[in-house]
Amino acid sequence: MSPDNPNGEEAAALPPQRGFSHRIRHVWRRHRRKLMYGSASTTAAVGIYIAYILLFAALPLAKVLTDQRVWGKDFPAALANIEQWAQAGHQRIVVERNLVLSGENYARVSDAQVALQRVIQEFPRDHTARVELVRRLFAKERQQFLAFNVLSPSERTSPTLVRTGGENVRLGLTTGKEILAPDLTAAVLMKELGKPQKVSRKIFRSEFEGRSEVLTTFAYSDEAVQFVQSNYSPVLPQGGGRIIDRALLDGSKIAELLKKLRH
């Protein structure tokens, strides 16, 4: 039983869920004059356009990445390194409580070491420029960047090899102690970001005690960010819900977003 096994059995597909409640107020402010004072044809056209936005448009990636109720205080430090992971060829990144992992598993340590050297070469000693891009991202979304923690040079570590179950090896980077919000649950996620575009489940069979692990994935921003909840994750006290303890990030999409902030 391991979520690192990519061959988990797909559970019955859940019905797609479209997030829109969090965008209603913004869309209304933008188009209310046309709706209130426009002609019948204009009002109908704008109404159709708004309906499309609310029902089908993905939540902007920048808004997902800067929601301070979803991410922990060390997330900006992890986010500042995403571009380097992507440049080293790792398009999918896994973030856990205090760890950033490559999406790729390596069966042979020798292969992992080659990939590790490539990642290390992409990590410059000076983090100032990368932190500044993340600061611009938060400023653009009118989020308070100072609420987060930016690691000092003495706290930074270099990527290393991490055992992820069995003989598999991934590349890992310790980034603070709180990348995800410590009390993040599905209820909190939907309150902050609305209903996900897609919810899916995958079952990992195990012969150990006859138990299996079920991973539920909540996808946002055209699957650029996917939050993962395990049926083995801890449950918050007093019925607070089961914790979401990891997220999958599309490194190429996030790198492209940060790249635009350079101009």
What are 5-60's pLDDT values in tens digits?
Answer: 544 555 544 444 444 444 555 555 565 665 565 656 665 655 555 554 444 456 79
Domain assignment present for residue 188? The answer is yes
Q: Are residues 31 and 91 in the same domain?
A: no
Domain assignment present for residue 133? The answer is yes
Q: Are residues 27 and 90 in the same domain?
A: no
DSSP state of 191: H
Q: Are residues 52 and 130 in the same domain?
A: no
pLDDT computed for residue 16 by the predictor:
41
Domain assignment present for residue 63? The answer is yes
CB atoms within 10 A of CB 81: 22
110 — alpha (psi -120 to 50), left (phi > 0) or beta?
alpha
Domain assignment present for residue 111? The answer is no
DSSP state of 97: S
Q: Are residues 48 and 69 in the same domain?
A: no
Q: What is the dihedral of CA 251, 63, 72, 235, to 10 degrees?
A: -100
- Closest by CA position to 192, among listed 72, 18, 68: 68
Q: Are residues 96 and 50 in the same domain?
A: no
Containing structural domain, residue 233: 9-17+59-103+126-154+174-260
Poorest-pLDDT segment among 2-11, 160-169, 172-181, 237-246: 2-11
Domain assignment present for residue 201? The answer is yes
For 180-213, what is each residue's pLDDT tens digit? Answer: 999 999 999 999 999 999 999 999 886 656 678 8
Q: Judge whether residue 224 has pLDDT over 90.
A: yes
**Biggest CA-to-CA distance, the chain:** 68
- Number of domains forming the structure of the chain: 2
Q: Are residues 239 and 204 in the same domain?
A: yes
Q: At what angle do helices 24-37 and 40-56 cross, to 10 degrees?
A: 170
Q: Are residues 199 and 216 in the same domain?
A: yes
Q: Are residues 64 and 190 in the same domain?
A: yes
Distance CA 126, CA 128 (A): 6
Q: Are residues 66 and 13 in the same domain?
A: yes
Q: Are residues 247 and 135 in the same domain?
A: yes
Domain assignment present for residue 79? The answer is yes
Q: Are residues 181 and 202 in the same domain?
A: yes
Domain assignment present for residue 167? The answer is no
Domain assignment present for residue 164? The answer is no
